[in-house]
Amino acid sequence: MKNPFSLRRRANLARPWRWLVPVLLVLLFLAVLFWLPWQARQMETNERQEQLIADTLWVEQTLRFELARSEEALATLGADLVGKPPAPDVLQARLAQMFKNGPALRRVLWLGPDGGVLARHGSEPATARPASSETREMAHLTKAGRYTEPYGASARMPGLLDYHLPLYRDGVHAGSLVATYNLQVLLSETVPWWFAQDNALALLDRNDFPVAGRADGGPGRGVYTHRRPFDLPGASIVLATDSVKGAPRLLPNLLVGSVIVLALGLLWSLLTLWRHISRTLAAETALRQQMAFRTAMENSLMTGLRARDLEGRVTYVNKAFCTMVGLPPEELVGTKPPMPYWAPEVRGEYEERFAGVLAGTATPQFETVFQRSDGMRVPVLIFEAPLVDSRGDQTGWMSSILDITDRKKAEELNRQQQEKLETSARLATMGEISSMLAHELNQPLAAISSYTAGALNVLERADKGVPIEPTLLRRALEQARQQAQRAGQIIRSVHEFVKKSEPHREPVAIGDVIEGVRALIELQTRQSYVALQLELPAHLPPVLADRVMLEQVLLNLTRNGIEAMAGVPPARRILRIAAAADAAQVSVSVIDNGHGIPPEVAERLFSPFFSTKAEGMGMGLSICRTAIEFHGGTLNHAPNPGGGTVFTFSLPRPATPAVAELQ
């Protein structure tokens, strides 16, 4: 028998060890309670600093992009000035447009080889430009654009920056362009307002003197700062940012309150779970009675049904869906993406839509392709709708799937027939102007032969000791090159017009479309002794259209107008192409002074296979109207008050970012 005193002594010795574990747990909890807020504060501090660095880098890239865009505009202007200087009023208009596109521009100078000012635009800086001549000489030596150091900054005036771009003609220095930028305007127009509200920005020179600054939200606090140097040739500029935010603060009792809230939330969740289980048991009885009726109804449908939960897992399919994909329900229910009926060629499209389903933004209606178990592709039309329970909570997605194989076959047949008609119309058009095309190409080819023969004669005289005249030889080769480019342009216009291509909508300018077929139109006008007049406004907005289809419409309408003036006096043979735009659409009119259209012909003018020409197919105007209506526009005609007809087609102006950038 053991001694009771010994047992009591052992219990007293074990008692401190029993309290040690709870005490250690409490101490650990307190340590975590104090450590977590500190750690959270450090993480927030690091996150703010990293965000400031990333935003500063983005702002620096935005400023650099603005300067690079201005450099490209200056380079384009310099190339035009060296090649063929425009008229003074045209040059001033181009410079004014550059100032409009780049608000930071203060002044642009065109200097000659001797440094004399040939043209200027903008206001003269009030301060002198130090080291401007040295920068110009360095740019001339390196044959590349170069910036000066910022100058002119004071307490009341922002800093300025010059950019020198040397110009060369055939390797010989032909002057330079000098652009002056207002650094304060560059910051104000380029840096977004939300960044300037949270951060104080400054541009510093090599001596850390601020030459421009912006602080919409007040001065920075010096807690989160970053400096980012600019990569500008010849200039040392640093972008400095200072956040207006202070160090983060975190309540020390946040975790304690969180534990209490979580404990209460857990108790409330248990009570809610008990009530939910009671209601679920009551609802299951009613649900079983409805399942048999719903299953019989859904299996009788020809439309495929598929239900998925919020994770994308298939929870239900009906008989029609299983027949559509060639798989039994046992192989479909419970599966998660990738699904066995996904076609490999559109797997990326499936994954993108599945990501939208997980994000709660499923596409309500779309077309795609399923792959049956035997490898056959089935085009389907899918309608997606959210599954909502009795409490209004979404539990998944329900899809209705229609097999549209027959509809796709009909659409493909219709598309092929339309392409054949359009191709036949283009080939017929080219057949009508083939003789004029041969005559037009004969002129540049004959001129090329003459100029090259002259160049060979100069070289033969050089072999006999006669000095070569470089100017004469260069002029002959230049004229031959221009004639070759003219012939090539005619051939390219014909090739682009005749080749078969799928309709492809993209932002196009009406002026570019007219220029694309201008050579073909001029072939017909010269053959028929018709004068061509273009009335195109300077700033027509672009339209979203297929370029080749619009060129075909223009060529058909102009050919009809030229043929309509065959019997009028030569003085009245004027074909005008005019364009206009309003807030909703862009319109193009083809105006002739021909015999006009009688009322009985006007009623059937756009009908297929109706033509007033003995050799006509009767498809030209019908295809033109179909092409314009394909773009959502209209094609109409009206009498010309001076005699003749006015054909006008109008296209809607799309309000998209991609098109807006072209304006």
Q: Other CB atoms closer than 10 Å to residue 647's CB: what's the count? A: 23
Q: How far is CA 405 from the centre of its chain?
A: 33
For residue range 410-420, what is the model confidence (pLDDT) as tens digits? 777 767 666 66
Task: Give the per-residue pLDDT at 263.
Answer: 54
Residue 531: which pLDDT band, with cuts at 50, 70 and 90?
very high
* Three-state SS at 491: helix
At 326-342, the pLDDT tens digits run 888 888 888 888 888 88
The amino acid sitting at 635 is L
Helix (H) or strand (E) holding 133: helix 132-142
Q: Across residues 217-243, what is the average pLDDT?
A: 84
Q: Is the per-residue pLDDT at 14 higher than 60?
A: no
Q: Which of 562, 490, 495 is nearest to 529 (CA)?
A: 562
List pLDDT tens digits, range 81-125.
888 888 888 888 888 888 888 888 889 988 888 888 888 888 877
**Tell me, what amino acid is at 419?**
E
Name 429's Cβ contacts closer than 8 Å, sequence gap at least 6: 497, 552, 555, 556, 559, 620
Residue 615 has pLDDT above 50, yes or no: no
List the alpha helices (DSSP H) in 464-608. Answer: 470-498, 510-516, 518-527, 547-564, 599-602
The reported pLDDT for the residue numbered 50 is: 85
611-624 average pLDDT score: 56
Helix, strand, coil distribution of the chain in percent, nearest 5: 50, 20, 30
Residue scoring higher pLDDT (524 or 609): 524
pLDDT over 70, % of the chain:
76
Residues ≥6 apart with Cβ < 8 Å to 578? 534, 535, 536, 588, 589, 591
Whether residue 256 has pLDDT greater than 70: no
Q: How far apart are the first and last CA of the chain?
A: 105
Q: Tokens standing for 427?
A: 């080939």
What pLDDT score does 652 carry? 92
pLDDT band of residue 438 (cuts 50, 70, 90) is low
Rounded average pLDDT over 538-549: 85
For residue 649, the model assigns a pLDDT of 92
Over residues 261-287, mean pLDDT:
73
Report the b/e string of 75-99 with b at 16+ CB within 10 A.
eebbeebeeeeeeeeebeebbeebb
Q: pLDDT tens digit string along 317-375?
A: 888 888 888 888 888 888 888 888 888 888 888 888 888 777 777 777 888 888 888 88
Q: Is the pLDDT of residue 195 over 90?
A: no
Res. 500 pLDDT band, cuts 50 70 90:
very low
Confidence of residue 49 (pLDDT cuts 50, 70, 90): confident
pLDDT digits (tens, 9 = 90+) for 121-162: 888 776 656 557 788 888 888 888 899 888 877 767 778 888
Residue bearing the bigger pLDDT, 424 or 399: 399
pLDDT at site 660: 42
User: In this model, does residue 262 exceed pLDDT 60?
Assistant: yes
Continuous segment of H or E residues that includes residue 315? strand 314-317
Any residues with CB less than 8 A from the CB of 209 and at least 6 apart, and which?
Answer: 153
Torsion of CA 496, 501, 505, 506, to 10 degrees: -40
**CA distances in angstroms from 426 to 128, 178, 414, 553, 589, listed in the order given:** 64, 50, 19, 10, 21
